[in-house]
Amino acid sequence: MTLPTQNNWSQLLAFEPILGGPAQLEKRMINSDSGQIQYIGYCLTPSGSTSEAIWFIVKLSYDGNGFLNYYQLPDNGVIFGYIWDNYADYF
């Protein structure tokens, strides 16, 4: 299976249940102070280093009622080339 590339966000969402299976795609999350998921990171390597540029990162935003209303991609789009430790720097 070919992984999604630049500008294929809808494909990534469609494949997430498949890719997110055990030993296929690692996922990390950061919560906001209010407990909502704010950042999600995906890595192609199980237990991949958070300091290597092997992550895809998404920022989530919520409306005034606390409902998810926006997925933001990093400046360079959809690629597995970001460092998880620097997640907030890409937005």
Per-domain residue ranges of the chain? 9-84
Average the pLDDT over 21-39 and give the result. Answer: 82
- The pLDDT of residue 52: 95
- The DSSP secondary structure of 40-59, one letter per residue, reads EEEESSTT--TTSEEEEEEE
What does the mean pLDDT of the chain come to? 79
Q: What's the helix, strand, coil split of the chain in %, to 5?
A: 20, 35, 45
| pTM, entire model | 0.72
72: helix, strand or coil: strand
- The pLDDT of residue 85: 97
